[in-house]
Structure 1
Amino acid sequence: MKINTVNLTLKTDKTVVEGANKVRGYIGNTFKDYPLLHNHYGNDNHLLTYPLVQYKIINGDVVILGIEEGGDVLKEISSDLNIFKLNKEYKVTEKILSEKEVDVKPSSEEKHYKFVTPWLGLNQKNYSKYNELYGWKDKKNFLNNILVGNLLSMSKGLGIIVNKRLHVKSHFEIKQVKYKSVIFNGFVGEFKVHYDIPDFFGLGKGVSHGFGTVCEIK
């Protein structure tokens, strides 16, 4: 399935040291009339779908991914993004906006990916199950199945039909991260799967906050 994306990279006068959640909060508050930017409507009703605007910090730069309507919103507000007031104040010195159509679908070819930001694969429920597993093979299979579930959830949120069984091969390492003021065990590393995932798409929990960002290894 072809999907329109907009990737907006914002270079600033100094390296951004705060997390992507801070950028999300600032932009969401600055442009409150665009629900896709903060992923909820009034009365704290959240948009229960795959986030169409995703914020990331990559190598100290702000990178914002817009998918379909989310891309249209990014193009509308990009000219007004000239400063970030986070814990520090950052001035935007360069804006790089690229728009392209990408494939998101199961693939006949096995693709190789890495997480460029930690993947939050475990929630409260499956964290307990994960800790009850003893052998590393069991834990690895458990994580692989969760990742398949994340891919299926993304597909469903984007209206993509998956008509084949997915299998993941992976090598992950634990990296502790803070998400919504709670310490989580995140994972970094690489995986292979028969699925076309565009660069900078996110998987798992906290996607709109910058977690689980995927890039292909070519």
Structure 2
Amino acid sequence: MRIAVVEDDDSVGEALVDALSQVGHAPVRMRRGADLLLGHREVDLVLLDLGLPDDDGMTILRRLRGVSQVPVVVLTARDDERSVVRALRAGADDYVVKPARLGELRARIEVAARRRRDVSGADDQVVESGDIVVDLAARRVDIAGVEIALAPKEFEILAHLVARRGEAVSRQELMDAIWGDAYVAISRSLDVHMTSLRAKLGRPDAIATIRGYGYRWSC
């Protein structure tokens, strides 16, 4: 997922870029609110600091909401209730106070992106990636016009990744979503099904492995 990191503090901004890159996101560093207003069409989610050099982040948020519904997670040192309420009323999807715990921040980013897709209806039932067509409702996969037979769990893995296309999905999330709370006992099953799914797709780069984390649908 392409994430705008709107932060003028270089040490904080670089740390966020590194942390997001390590889990498969594509962070775009921006130092001013004007950069965001000009480049918001190029990103999928915004991490917005409120203390920006060219304008107050709250003003930037209101102006952004006038032209875009891109998910926004405010990440700021302001911890007073008034700032939280103002940001949420101005259109922020979430509000995180610095210093942020990275695991929690990643989770809030994922939830904000998923919530915005659900509200906007952006989760298409038919996803086309080149010559691969995945019909989520019909549980059907066509490659170059030919239907590919997948086992139930193989399709569920594919559907979960395709629905989150471009995002990093952890192994734990995949196992929990498909096998439930028993994922610890069947970790090997994910590897077996993933190997089979990739072979049937015949596209080595369709499902990218994020080392030490999980997978991403990359077509």
Q: Could you state the TM-score of these two structures normalised by the residue count of structure 1?
A: 0.28
Higher strand share: 1
| Higher RCO (CA 8 Å, separation ≥ 6 residues) | 1
Q: Which has the larger radius of gyration?
A: 2
